[in-house]
Chains A and B, each alone.
Chain A
Amino acid sequence: MNILLATVIGFLYASGVYLMLRRSIVKLILGIGLLGNATNLLLFTIGDVARSTPPIIHEGEEALVGAYANPIPQALILTAIVIGMAMLAYAVVLIKQAYQITDSDDIDVMRTTDIETLAEDQSE
């Protein structure tokens, strides 16, 4: 199981990086999404994937017995997924705005901040 997951994670990272190296910003965002999923899966795998019981101490017992799932990586992933979703949502809105302004999907077009000086605007 771990080998399979490791392969999937590696594949997701590779595809994510491949997409990010394209010039289109939409593919860039998709690549970041894949990278995020790969990272979350990585956290998940670290929690040791095995059939196990929830980490709950039942009545009358003093400590956890038997194989139980490590709750910490799961808590971490949950947080990471929520944060990742918020970030991705914002990024999608931003590239939509960028597309409307520059009328292009090409990251190479978005170089005005690197080339020209922006002296005239913002004199309020």
Chain B
Amino acid sequence: MIVILPILIPLIAAILCIVLWSRPTIHRWVSLVASVGALVVSLVLLSTVRADGVQALAIGGWVAPYGIVLVADLLSSIMVVVTAFMGLMVNIYGYDDISEDFEKNGYYALYQFLLVGVTGSFLTGDLFNLFVWFEIMLISSFVLLSMGGSRAETEGGVKYVIMNMISSMIFLGATGLVFGVAGSVNMADLGGRIPQIAADNPILVTSIAMLYVVAFGMKAALFPMFGWLPASYHTPPTSITTIFGALLTKVGVYALIRAFTLIFATSDVMWFAQPVLLTMASLTMVAGVFGAVAQYDVRRLLSFHIVSQIGYLILGLGIFTVSSLAGTIFYFVHVILAKSALFLVAGIVNKTYGSYDLKKLGGIYNNNIALSMLFFIPAMALAGIPPLSGFWAKFGVLKAGLSAENFIAVGIALFVSVWTLYSMTKIWNYAYMRKRPDAYDRPAESLSATSFWLRWAPTLVIGLITVAMGVWAGPLFELATAAAEQLMNPEIYISAVLGGGS
């Protein structure tokens, strides 16, 4: 029962917002209560899964593999907790960041629908149902992205919408083919059937697996298919950019991990998929970071970093050992938090100093040392400086890469890491250390106390967690390793689902 609550709570909140359409002030409270509620139930879900193993729920009492199941294993529950946490933080930040026009047009309803879609994608145990959750998430994100109606938002929206529609078509077609060869769309059921089919007909199953790489890779912004992300993510208000950057591409990565650890986890597919994933991961890292280095708009720079970090996540999947997946899961949590904190800081800087453009900023360190620290900590975490979270995340993935003897990929990852540090230093030098160019030198706007705390509190909490994750990395790494062990032993998942969900 607990499995469905993280989906149900935001769904009810979104519907309430629509019912109370004409009273936007109430939306804020509905959204806040729902976000807190979702966080509480996701934490309960995580502890339940940790204590009692994989939880499965057959929706409507139709037992798997005939009905739709919701499944929470450790990876899903970790992702759901992070989603709910980010949902709450960005919700609070949005009170100051989101304009009244957005609120009147149903921002909070869409926001909660987005969280419904993301959470649903993490929890579903059915391929076609995953498609449906994707679409729920996408349609809310389409509207959120182009809601402002400015030229940039519309143009970014066009690219985002079209790329995502194409990837949905590929995903749907691939699912149809899977149904054609295996006669099922239940992931656990497929996990049992696909390896046998692949043994008879490896080329067919590998082709289908590659269709999934393209479909999910587009959503995750992997190497040849990432162009839409830096073209669109920086256009809406900061809160929307943050929640997109934190969650949407990660859903694509999650889907890839699920597909290749559960459904296509057979040597008949992996002999081909593994080098493909490793190559794409390496190229994604390099392309993302070089794109980032060239940018002057902070949000665009960070958008390219989203792409680059996706490479690290897929690298862990490509190495395909328990320790590399544990590294990926740790990295997931780290990158969502660190990247979001950076976006939120960029929003505070824009509010206070009136620009996102590095060329027009400067001297923040002398002006506001607290704000500089708020940027500095997640920036260093992202670059992977010990003792912050990023160090352990990278260490986990790279150590696994070394023991699996993937020296080239590890070398590229280390090289990219240097450039990540460089681009963080670039922001630091331009916006914080150097003197502000005279042409743009105007006094900093002082935020009102409410506005200050609505923006600072969530950013500070996220920043502190990245520090805490670095200092107490042990327990989280244990959790990530347990999650990775579940992933590498799909029988646990399959028997939990097909053994009759409660």
Contact = CB atoms under 8 A, between A and B. Distances in A.
Interface of A: 20, 25, 28, 32, 35-36, 38-39, 42-43, 46, 72-73, 76, 79-80, 83, 86-88, 90-91, 94-95, 97-98, 101-102, 107, 110-114, 117-124
B108 interface: no
Contacts of B150: 121-122
Interface in B121-147: 128, 131-132, 135, 138-139, 142-143, 146
Contacts of B232: 113
A32 B135 CA distance: 15
A124 B97 CA distance: 9
A44 B142 CA distance: 28
A76 B139 contact: no
Contact of B154 (A35, A79, A98, A118): A98
B161 A91 contact: yes
B131 to A, nearest CB: 8
Contact of A94 (B158, B166, B355): B158
Contacts of A86: 135, 139
Contacts of A102: 151, 154-155
A123 B297 contact: no
A113 B231 contact: yes
Contacts of A90: 139, 142-143, 161
Contacts of A113: 152, 155-156, 159, 231-232, 234-235
B237 A122 contact: yes
Nearest to A44: B176
B300 interface: yes
A91 B157 CA distance: 9
Contacts of A112: 151-152, 155
A32 B166 contact: yes
Contacts of B436: none
Contacts of A20: 166
Contact of B146 (A25, A73, A94): A94
B162 A91 contact: yes
Nearest to B136: A83
14 contacts: A42-B176, A46-B177, A76-B176, A76-B179, A79-B132, A83-B132, A87-B135, A90-B143, A94-B158, A112-B151, A113-B152, A113-B155, A117-B300, A121-B152
Looking at chain B's contact residues, the main secondary structure is: helix
B128 A97 contact: no
Interface of B: 99, 128, 131-132, 135, 138-139, 142-143, 146, 148-152, 154-159, 161-162, 165-166, 168-169, 172-173, 175-177, 179-180, 185, 230-232, 234-235, 237, 295-297, 299-300, 350-351, 354-357, 360
Given A94-B158, A102-B155, A118-B297, A123 B146 contact: no
B357 A114 contact: no
A39 B171 CA distance: 10
Given A42-B173, A119-B355, A87 B139 contact: yes
Pick the 7 closest A-B CB pairs, nearest first: A119-B357, A117-B297, A46-B180, A43-B176, A110-B155, A39-B173, A83-B135
A98 B297 CA distance: 23
Contacts of A76: 128, 175-176, 179, 185
Nearest to A25: B158
Looking at chain A's contact residues, the main secondary structure is: helix
Contacts of B355: 119-120, 123
Nearest to B440: A119
Contact of B165 (A38, A43, A72, A91): A91
Nearest to A117: B297
Contacts of B300: 117
Contacts of B172: 39, 43, 80
A11 to B, nearest CB: 15
A119 B169 contact: no
B173 to A, nearest CB: 5
Nearest to A95: B158
A32 B168 CA distance: 11
Contacts of B143: 90
Contacts of B176: 39, 42-43, 46, 73, 76
A98 B158 contact: yes
B173 A119 contact: no
Nearest to B148: A122
Contacts of B128: 76, 79
A70 B142 CA distance: 34
Nearest to B347: A122
Contact of A118 (B142, B168, B234): B234
B169 A36 contact: yes
A8 to B, nearest CB: 14
Nearest to B300: A117
B436 to A, nearest CB: 14
B419 to A, nearest CB: 20
B155 A118 contact: no
B142 A94 contact: yes
A123 B352 CA distance: 9
A102 B138 CA distance: 24
A14 to B, nearest CB: 14
Contacts of A72: 179, 185
